[in-house]
Amino acid sequence: MTASSRTTSQELLRGLRIAVATIAGAVLLTASLPRKLSIHEPLATQLVAYGVLLALLLVEVVAIVRNREWGRFRMPALLLVIAASTLSTWTLAPEFLLTSTDWSFGTSGWLGVVLLFGRPLSELSAFLGVNLAITAARVLVVSGGDSDLLLGLVAGAVGTVGFPLACGMATTIVRRIADDAERATARAAEIRTSEAVAVGLFEAREARLARLDAGAEELLRGLADGTLDPNDGEVRRACDLEAARMRRFLAEADHAEDRLMYELRHGADVAERRDVLVEFERAGRWRTPPDEVRPALVDGVLAGLTAARRRARVSVIGIGPTLSVSVTSDGGDWKPQLRTHPDVTHIVVTTEEQTWIESTWTDGSPSSSSTITESPAEG
């Protein structure tokens, strides 16, 4: 949408430029010179001046077709117009000044509109002023204060300065509108983009938060409204479990070689802070389980660790496509609500003094040999 709006505003400006060139062309081609060649004396200077203006107009036509700006050629071109205007005005027979034979008086100003298209209005005003001054100077020299001729100059100036200036003002306004439209479109696009990014981020965060499930929220609500007592051992266990789940969840964002062991160690950190000695054992080899499987697969270990009093042992073993993650801990009578996943099964065995939770995932993907973690030697 941004692209097409840009094109619209560019098309508008291009149309405007063509219109200005067309007006200038019409004025130049209908100028009286071609019809009154026999009157002029000397004729050559008039033809040179006319030729210069016509050449500049042709260059403009080429520039429009090629979609080019005047750029650094603008000032030399303007000087050429002034020179042509001066040449024509000052070599004209004095009796033709301000008459219909004085073709350049009403024509050269339009070339200024063409050359100063898209430039500030003040530049066009200055150019038209200079252009008028050329004729005015000749008139003053010739007339020697003849009031009729001076009146004619003023009357002529209304058309020769006023029309191009009005046209220049119109282009400036249309141009400003186009620029405003373009900026507004860009701003709207920017807002839409940042909005889309914000929505995407929000959805990603919400999806991640949803994986933390209602557990933490329920717990926090209970603690806030006083229905759960922080001195209650069960409540503390539940808090430990949610804290471990959160630690694992946050560790998900880190880069780690062996994601499973990395997340297990992070989850175990909560128990270690309670001075529980956590040992890790591993055997066999396995493929790193995908993101959606790990929360459920690791949950049994996190829950088992919250039951531990002094020590716990975390074991990971990969046998073919089966990956088993488990924990034995010296705390008993613990039947936590574990997270589930269709491909993960949990076994919870708990006695008065011991709890063993084993979570097993069977990798159904055909590429199970692609990223295999081998159980390394541990000194």
Nearest to 368 by CA among 326, 325, 324, 319: 319
Secondary element (H or E) of residue 149: helix 147-211
User: Least distance from C-beta 359 to other proteins, angstroms?
Assistant: 10
Q: Which stretch binds other proteins (CB under 8 A): 55-63, 149-157, 251-259, 354-362?
A: 354-362
358 sits near other proteins (criterion: CB under 8 A):
yes
Nearest to 273 by CA among 234, 295, 247: 247
379 sits near other proteins (criterion: CB under 8 A):
yes
**Out of 283, 310, 365, 371, which residue is the one contacting other proteins (CB under 8 A)?**
283
Find the largest Cα–Cα distance for the chain.
126
**Out of 220, 319, 333, 337, which residue is the one contacting other proteins (CB under 8 A)?**
319
Give residues with Cβ within 8 angstroms of 139, minimum separation 6.
97, 98, 149, 150, 153
> CA 61 to CA 20: how far, in whole Å?
11
User: Least distance from C-beta 312 to other proteins, angstroms?
Assistant: 11
**Out of 75, 188, 220, 347, which residue is the one contacting other proteins (CB under 8 A)?**
347
**Out of 317, 331, 361, 373, which residue is the one contacting other proteins (CB under 8 A)?**
317
Q: Which stretch binds other proteins (CB under 8 A): 9-17, 47-55, 215-223, 278-286?
A: 278-286
Task: Using DSSP bridges, classify how beta strands 311-319 and 277-287 pair: parallel, antiparallel or unpaired.
Answer: parallel
User: Least distance from C-beta 316 to other proteins, angstroms?
Assistant: 9
285 sits near other proteins (criterion: CB under 8 A):
yes
Q: Token match 């270690």: residue?
A: 272
User: Least distance from C-beta 350 to other proteins, angstroms?
Assistant: 9
CB atoms within 10 A of CB 195: 10
Give residues with Cβ within 8 angstroms of 50, minimum separation 6.
31, 33, 84, 88, 103, 104
User: Least distance from C-beta 345 to other proteins, angstroms?
Assistant: 11
378 sits near other proteins (criterion: CB under 8 A):
yes
Which CB atom, from 4 or from 370, has the smaller least distance to other proteins? Answer: 370
Which amino acid, one-letter code, is at 326?
A: S
Residues binding other proteins (CB under 8 A)? 279, 281-285, 313, 315, 317-319, 324, 326, 328, 347, 349, 351, 354, 356, 358, 375-379
